[in-house]
Every structure is written in C-alpha cells, then in structure tokens.
Chains A and B, each alone.
Chain A
Amino acid sequence: MAETVKLLGTKGSPYSHRAEVALRLKEVNFEFLHEDLAHKSDMLLRYNPIHKKIPVLVHEEKSIVESLIVVEYVHEAFNGYAILPSDPYERAMARFWARYIDEKVIPAFWMSCWTDGEMQKGFIGQAKEALTILESQLKGKKFFGGDSIGFVDLAAGMVAFWFGILQEVAGISLLNEEDYPVLCRWADDYCSVEAVKESLLDRKLLVAHFASKKEKIFATKAPVYD
C-alpha cells in the first residue's frame, strides 16, 4: 500500500533533516523520496511549484513546505510526541528561537565559512555573538526543549551536526568545546537521540560531499546539500 505520507528531501540538507526527525519522533510511517536537486523531479515541481525547494511533506496528496512549518504541521496533525510546548508562552518562545537560528545563527556561520579577509572577520564576530546567545538558552537544561528534544532542538540540528562538518571543510574553528562547552555537549546529546541518529548521514560522507563542493560554494555562497 502506498504510504499516505511522503517526504521529498535529501539526507544532506539540514532543513530536510528537521522534517525527517519530526516524522520519526511521531513514529509516522512515511516514504522518503530522495531528491536530486540538480535535476528536480516532476513530483517536487508539482508539490512545490512556487519555491521548488525541499523539504516537501505530502500528506494525503496535500503538500506542506518550509521546514519549520512542516515541523509545526507534523506536531499538530499527528498524535504522540509533543514537539512544541503545550504552554502558549513557551510555544511563542520556541518559535522565536527557531527563527533566530534561521535568521541570525545559520547565515552568520555559513558566511564565516565561505568568505575570507575582513569580510570573514565580520561574519565570525556575528556568528560568535549569535552562538553565545543561543548557548545561553540552554541554561541548565539538557535540550532546548527541556528533558527531551523539541522544536528549537530540531531547528538547531544544523548547529549540532552540520556546523562541525562545515567548519572542518572551511578550515576554521568557530564552534569548539573551549568556547562553547555547553553547546557542544548539547550537540552530542542531540545527535545521540534515536530519531536523530536514524536521520543523519554518515559524517565522513557529508565531509566528503562538502569538500568536493567547496570551490563552488566559495564562489557562489549558495548551499549545495545533495
């Protein structure tokens, strides 16, 4: 029987990762359709005609796009694990920090990896500030979501797994144990969660992937996740 839930994504993408972990936390049976972003499938173009991006969640023939929106949808549409907090104030805070990661943490870190000279120094400064602020949100908790992973942890999946890989390929050391002990400890704990482990590619593969694309990314600054 064809699954009613399909996820169009790639293992290399931290955005696709968010959607995949959400589905695994809810124990939803889904079909993972791997997209070759260089040759977008008809299905992708049909289900996300405007943005043509992954991840796309297809549920009973209806499509949901934008990773954080997909995660909220999975939280609301399926029973079981609570990805977002039940308290409205805590929920508002979770949404704020997830967007902070997308708008401040990730762009600064990304540009720190793929620029040089004065420009790089500037981005590194911004990234350090953003990481410090993000780390402070853990304040004594195991995860951003508390005792178990939640919305903000999923949003920060890129920090937990991809940041180490990117900085290794780029030859910088931004997120390190000396400067960010709490965040690094969180990253290890996050990656050890079963639903996350099942979603992550082998680290060596991802390092090799980004290393092979390094020149292209340096030139365009655009991500190449597949």
Chain B
Amino acid sequence: MSEEVVCVDFWANGFGMRVRIALREKGVQFELKEEDLRAKERSALVLEMSPVLRQIPILIHHGKPVLGSINIVEYIDEVWKEGPALLPADPLDRAHARLWAHYIDKMLFSTQTKFLKSKGEAKEKSKAELIESLKQLEQVLGDGNYFGGDEFNFLDIMLIPFSSMFSGYEEHGSFQIGVECPKLMAWVKRCRERESVARTLPDDGEMYQLHKAWYGIE
C-alpha cells in the first residue's frame, strides 16, 4: 500500500533528498507530498506532524511522523531490513558515520548558507571556510570509492544532496570545486550514476536559481 509511507518534502530541500534517496535505495514505495518552502506559512499537514519545529522533511509511517533527516534515514535503515544496509554494522563505524553526518549539518550547511547570504569580505571569509569544510570531508572520504568504503551508504547519502549546489557555489564564488577537491568531485560523479541519486537530485541550474531568489543574490 503506497499510502503507508509518506514523505513530506520540497523538491529543492537537500535534507529531504537524503530521505528520498534512502527510501529509493531500499526500494520502498512512498507517496511524496510537496511542501513549498517559499510559502510563508507551513501547511496544515506539517503543523500537525511537526508541531514543535515545523520543519521538513517528515516521514509519515503508519500515520506516525518521524522528524529530522538523520533520524529518518536511521529509521528507514532499521525498519526496512531487506535491501542494502545504509549504516555500517560495527558500533565504531556507526559512531564515525553519525559524527560526520552531524558535522555536515553543523559546519557545512551553516557555512554554505553564510556564503550564499554574504557579500564582500564576509563572503570571501565564508568561501574559505566552505572550501575548508569540503576539504575536511574529502579527507574523511580518503581513497575509498564512497564514504562507506566500497559500498554507497549513510554518509554518502548525507552529503550527496549538497552536490546539487556545487555548481551554484562555484558560480557564486568564482572557483572550481574540482580544483580544490578532485577526489570529492570524482565521488560526486560516481554517486550520481546511482539510480536513487539520479532520480532524486534536482537540476543544478534550477537549484541555484531558486537559492539566488531565496537569498537575494544578483
């Protein structure tokens, strides 16, 4: 029954892309309910399912909401055991994966937002921080094909949605991520060949246009 799993999300929401990729990796049928984040007010559904933070993505399973993209992907992994394991089995590897997932949320996301919003010297400073964060993540990737080693997994899912903004960052900052982080770009290309990723990630150009309008970038 496809109505059993509902994902409330916005097409350009990187956090929501994580959820949609995870569901597709597991082969779970789901209904996508679009929530336009450009609207000032959240829909009645979001207010009902996420009353405290009023945020998306929301996964609704058997009528109950699961909130927070990292939580949702862990939940998907724990509930749908058929299909590839998204998180590693070993507790240490899991701790490592969670640590970097939260790093992406705390460091990368806030830095990229600052970068898109700022001008002049502040923009140059946050551009340097953004490159630093990407380089840090490239180090975590190491020489593996994926953050999960040989297998595409949790941490790849956490980061790959940001790649839909890479060409936007490049245009905004006049630099090339491929020059700064070649291994990371190779990883992006590899991930985008996966069906779950290709189906989920939006067009780069459309992503940047939306964010330009959002942040008032000329």
A contact residues vs B (CB 8 Å cutoff): 50, 59, 62, 64-66, 69-70, 72-73, 76-77, 88-89, 91-92, 95-96, 99-100, 133
With A96-B67, A99-B68 known as contacts, the answer to whether A91 contacts B78 (CB < 8 A) is: yes
B52 touches A73 (CB 8 A): no
A66 touches B71 (CB 8 A): no
B contact residues vs A (CB 8 Å cutoff): 52-53, 61, 64, 66-68, 70-72, 74-75, 78-79, 91-92, 94-95, 98-99, 102, 136
- In the complex, how many angstroms separate the beta carbon of B104 from the nearest chain A beta carbon? 13
List, in ascending order, chain B residues with CB within 8 A of A77's CB: 91-92
User: In the docked arrangement, what's the CA distance between A59 and B79, Å?
Assistant: 29
Looking across the interface, which residue of chain A has its beta carbon closest to that of B59? A92
List, in ascending order, chain A residues with CB within 8 A of B99's CB: 64-66, 69
List, in ascending order, chain B residues with CB within 8 A of A50's CB: 136
Top 5 A-B pairs, shortest CB-CB distance: A76-B91, A88-B78, A77-B91, A73-B95, A92-B75
Looking across the interface, which residue of chain B has its beta carbon closest to that of A76? B91
**Residue among A72, A89, A92, A96 making CB contact with B95, cutoff 8 Å:** A72
- In the complex, how many angstroms separate the beta carbon of A115 from the nearest chain B beta carbon? 22
User: In the docked arrangement, what's the CA distance between A89 and B74, Å?
Assistant: 10
**Residue among B71, B95, B136 making CB contact with A69, cutoff 8 Å:** B95
- In the complex, how many angstroms separate the beta carbon of B127 from the nearest chain A beta carbon? 21
B91 touches A88 (CB 8 A): no
Looking across the interface, which residue of chain B has its beta carbon closest to that of A95? B71
B66 touches A69 (CB 8 A): no
With A73-B91, A73-B95, A96-B67 known as contacts, the answer to whether A66 contacts B75 (CB < 8 A) is: no
- In the complex, how many angstroms separate the beta carbon of B101 from the nearest chain A beta carbon? 10
A73 touches B94 (CB 8 A): yes
B94 touches A76 (CB 8 A): yes
List, in ascending order, chain A residues with CB within 8 A of B102's CB: 66, 69
User: In the docked arrangement, what's the CA distance between A70 and B53, Å?
Assistant: 25
**Residue among A59, A66, A95, A100 making CB contact with B52, cutoff 8 Å:** A100
A89 touches B71 (CB 8 A): no
B68 touches A95 (CB 8 A): yes
